[in-house]
Chains A and B, each alone.
Chain A
Amino acid sequence: MWDYTDKVKDHFLNPRNVGEIEDADGVAEVGSIACGDALKFMFKLGPDGKIAEAKFKTFGCASAIASASALTEMVKGMTVEEASKVTNQDIANFLGGLPQEKMHCSVLGREALEMAISNYQGSPGKAEEEKIVCECFGVTEKEIERAIRENRLTSVEEVTNYTKAGGGCGNCHDTIREIIDRIQAEVRDLPGRPKLSNIKKIKMIEETLEREIRPALKHDGGDIELVDVVGNRVLVATRGACASCQASNQTMKNFVEVKLRELVWPELVVEEVSA
């Protein structure tokens, strides 16, 4: 039996916003019945330009239903631009986490949201000519690349958990491995990357903290605050549970620093200061 959080169970047993909107501004359908889960998602903007209504219909397991329900609750009240920044991790965090094997449900939600926004903006969704890597589940190279980058995936198994790619016949495992290797090499071989201006660097650090790091720490009752950036030294102060946590130094090095190095600049060093 899956270890679902109470919030997942709640959103599964009492799903919010099930249904369709007749005159929706953005509509998307992702997944297929052959793959085992499918999601139809739509939203309508209010006069203030914010999402006033969001609805869904889904075919899938409990976590797929819960993820879709969570997504509709999350985006209500957001502008389209704010909604476009919602990641699959945000959906999982909203639900208090998902089992690793079920992360693909949150990815499905993010994909649906993105496609619905594209639909609203009048641009085409998934381009037809995109290269399919996993034939069994129709997963494209771009989708796999994105999941690897956004969730720092390092193994074929993880890619399968997040995208389903490789979960069928297994013929694409080598290709997935190559994509992982390629992205890991990109992250390593950064000298070719243009140098960041200080202002840009600080901005990116702030954004990464906000989007990727603080939600995860908050999930465990902790928090972090950016104090200063001096060259490649990122000075931070810990808050909440992190401040009194024995393992906070480990968290700094293994999680905060890894994340900032990956998403901002590979030579960053995180230092904890009291502020």
Chain B
Amino acid sequence: MKTIYLDNNATTQVAPEVLEAMTPYFSELYGNPSSMHSFGGQVNKEVRKARERMAALLGASPEEIIFTSCGTESDNAAVRSALSSYPEKKHIVTSRVEHPAIRALCAHLATQGYKITELPVDGEGRLDMEQYRKALTPDTAIVTLMWANNETGVIFPIEKAAEMAKERGILFHTDAVQAVGKIPIDLGKVPIDMLSLSGHKLHAPKGIGVLYVRKGTKFSPFLIGGHQERGRRGGTEATSSIIGLGVAAELAGNKMEYENTVVRGLRDKLEKSILGIVPNTKVNGTRDSRLPNTSNISFEFVEGEGILLMMDEFGICASSGSACTSGSLQPSHVLRAMGVPFTMAHGSIRFSLSIYNTEEEIDFVVEKIPPIINTLRSMSPYWKTGAQLCESA
């Protein structure tokens, strides 16, 4: 059975050219970039090139790029660095819809005496900028807001938020794990102090991430050890992964337009077709400001796990914000923060595309979804009532 992979916000396929670029650094060119001999030195040159490529994608300078092991490490390093750089400040501003890498970290810090402000979002997943303005205080050590939401794809106005923090002299960090490679980012124009990204979301391998730290920003390392990454992150460089990420960054830059035209077109087709065929469905998250590859659709009166397992029978991969799949008995914190009703939240499915998806795949999914939903709805005790309600409305 062919796999139709529409779960690219979870992880992506390593691009063939990325894998090809990485392979020699496992077996032949295995030198340590810190070594004095030229066998190691030649690897160092490639690591440097990867750093330049990554910087180019972000509109940053190479020395502002720190390679880490993953997005979670980058997030931890950023927030903890801010707290140790400004020990007198005890307040963190974040949102209710962050990834667990930030959410759980903040919840942990709350038990250590830090005050956390979790900004609410509206029904469309948008940040209330007035509340944000009010949340910024002289005691605020750092603002950490995601650039784009992993579940809905909603893009926060990070440029504006970063400027507002800068005006008050507050450090600004963004978890841009879902945004990098999907929407253009130019750190030359946006006053962001720190930015996290993860390699495996943009066709590089798992186990490699980046923390961007703007020149002049006070930084206190999370991993203390050797002199690697200019003393800001100890540990021997994951050379092959770094080199792979460099190629992936270049690929992302080259494919940016494709992502925002072709991939966006496929996403729109998928969304429009499903909404057109299946009644009682709704898109979660504002369509005005959203990643081009993500569509979060709620199917009323059915439960997401059932949909996923039935799609799995056809080789279709997606994910759900339902309670049964979240492992916490409650629907996703993102949909709850948006106030999505239970009838909708439990039946939410996130489709996330990549440059490797084709129109045939989308057509296949559009063909398979309606009977799956019909089957599950015919079993649901709520379905009839729901249909009647809608007809009379």
A contact residues vs B (CB 8 Å cutoff): 2, 9, 12-13, 15, 18, 29, 33-34, 36-40, 57-65, 101, 136-137, 160, 164, 167-168
* Contact A168:B330 (CB < 8 A) given known A57-B380, A57-B381: yes
Smallest CB separation, B144 vs chain A (Å): 24
A36 contacts B379, CB within 8 Å? no
Q: 1/0 per position for B361-393, CB-CB distance to A under 8 A?
A: 000000000000000001111100000000000
Which residue from chain B places its CB closest to the CB of A165 in the assembled complex?
A: B329
Q: Please classify the interface of chain A as helix (H, G, I), strand (E, B), loop, or mixed, using the class held by over half of its residues.
A: mixed
Chain A contacts of B120 at CB under 8 A? Answer: none
**Which of B303, B330, B378 contacts A60 (CB under 8 A)?**
B303
Q: Which of B328-344 contact A (CB under 8 A)?
A: 328-331, 342-343
Q: Is the CB of A38 within 8 A of B306?
A: no
Partner of B309, one of A12, A59, A136, A160: A12
27 CB-based A-B contacts, threshold 8 Å: A2-B305, A13-B310, A13-B313, A18-B379, A33-B342, A36-B324, A36-B330, A36-B342, A37-B303, A37-B324, A38-B382, A40-B381, A57-B380, A58-B379, A58-B381, A59-B301, A59-B381, A59-B382, A61-B305, A61-B324, A62-B324, A137-B329, A160-B329, A164-B329, A167-B328, A167-B329, A168-B330
Given that A101-B327, A137-B329 are known contacts, is A36 also in contact with B380, CB under 8 Å in the complex?
Answer: no
- In the complex where A33-B343, A37-B303, A61-B322 touch, is A168 in contact with B329 (Cβ < 8 A)? yes
A64 and B376 CA atoms in complex are apart in Å by 12
Q: Which residues of B contact A15 (CB under 8 A)?
A: 379
| B309/A62 in contact, CB under 8 A | yes
B267 within 8 A of A: no
Closest CB pairs A-B (n = 5): A167-B329, A61-B324, A61-B305, A36-B323, A57-B381
Residues of B close to A40: CB separation below 8 A:
381
14 additional A-B residue pairs with CB within 8 Å, beyond A12-B306, A59-B346, A61-B322? A29-B381, A33-B301, A33-B382, A36-B323, A36-B330, A36-B331, A36-B346, A37-B303, A40-B381, A58-B381, A59-B302, A59-B379, A59-B382, A137-B329
| Nearest B-chain residue to A105, judged by Cβ | B324
Q: Inside 8 A of A101's CB, which chain B residues have their CB?
A: 327
Q: What residues of A have a CB within 8 angstroms of the CB of B343 in the complex?
A: 33
Across-interface contacts of B305 in A (CB, < 8 A)? 2, 61-62
Q: How far is the CA of A34 from the CA of B340 in the complex (A)?
A: 11
> Given A164-B329, A168-B330 in contact, is the A18-B346 Cβ separation under 8 Å?
no
Shortest Cβ distance from residue A88 to the other chain B in the assembled complex, whole angstroms: 17
B333 to chain A, nearest CB (A): 12
A36 engages B306 (CB within 8 Å): no
Interface centre among B329, B330, B342 (most CB of A within 10 A): B329
Write out the residue numbers on chain B whose beta carbons fall within 8 Å of the beta carbon of A33. 301, 342-343, 346, 382
In the complex, which residues of chain B have a beta carbon less than 8 angstroms from the beta carbon of A164?
329
A65–B323 Cα distance when bound, in Å, is 15
A168 to B333, CA, bound (A): 11
Bound: A65/B379 CA distance, A: 9
B327 to chain A, nearest CB (A): 7
What is the CA–CA distance of A168 and B330 in the complex, to the nearest angstrom?
A: 6
B381 touches A65 (CB 8 A): no
Contact B380–A59 (Cβ < 8 Å): yes
Interface residues as binary, B304-315 with A (CB distance below 8 Å gives 1, 0 otherwise)? 111001100100
Chain B residues with Cβ below 8 Å from A37 are 303, 324
B residues within 8 A CB of A29? 381
When distances are taken between beta carbons in the complex, the residues of chain A under 8 Å from B301 are 33, 59
Q: With the chains together, A171 CA to B330 CA distance in Å?
A: 15
In the complex, which residues of chain A have a beta carbon less than 8 angstroms from the beta carbon of B382?
33, 38, 59
Contact, CB under 8 Å: B303 / A61: yes
Taken together as a complex, chains A and B put the C-alpha atoms of A62 and B304 apart, in Å, by 9
- B16-59 to A contact mask, C-beta < 8 Å, 1/0: 00000000000000000000000000000000000000000000
Task: Report A-chain residues with C-beta under 8 Å of the C-beta of B380.
Answer: 57-59
B73 to chain A, nearest CB (A): 25
A65-B329 in contact (CB<8A):
no
- Cα–Cα, bound, A65→B324 (Å): 12
- Are B330's CB and A167's CB within 8 A? yes
* Binary interface encoding of chain B residues 288-328 relative to chain A, with 1 for a CB under 8 A from any of its CBs, else 0: 00000000000001111110011001000000001111011
Query: A37 to nearest B CB, angstroms?
Result: 7
The CA of A166 and the CA of B330, in the complex, are separated in Å by 11
B328 touches A36 (CB 8 A): no
Query: What distance in Å separates the Cβ of B310 from its nearest Cβ neighbour in chain A?
Result: 7
> Which residues does chain A contribute within 8 Å of B329, judged by CB atoms?
36, 137, 160, 164, 167-168
* A104 nearest in chain B by CB position: B329
Beta-carbon contacts of B134-146 to A below 8 Å, as 1s and 0s? 0000000000000
Which of A18, A39, A65, A160 makes the CB contact (< 8 A) with B306? Answer: A65
- With A and B bound together, what is the CA distance between A15 and B379 in angstroms? 9
Least Cβ distance of B5 to chain A in Å?
15
**Closest CB-CB distance, B66 to chain A, in whole Å?**
34
Cα–Cα, bound, A74→B45 (Å): 69
Q: Are A62 and B323 in contact (CB under 8 A)?
A: no
Chain A residue contacts of B304, Cβ below 8 A: 61
**Measured between C-beta atoms, what is the minimum distance from A147 to chain B in Å?**
15
Which residues on the A side are within 8 Å of B310 (C-beta)? 13
Would you give the shortest CB distance from B301 to chain A, in whole angstroms? 7
**Contact residues in A for B322 (Cβ distance below 8 Å):** 36, 61
Residues of A within 8 A of B309 (CB): 9, 12-13, 62
Q: Which of B302, B323, B328: most chain A Cβ within 10 A?
A: B323
Task: Across the interface, name the chain A residue whose C-beta is closest to B309.
Answer: A62
Which residues of B sit under 8 angstroms from A39, Cβ to Cβ? Answer: 381
B336 to chain A, nearest CB (A): 10
Interface residues of B in 205-242 (CB under 8 A from A): none
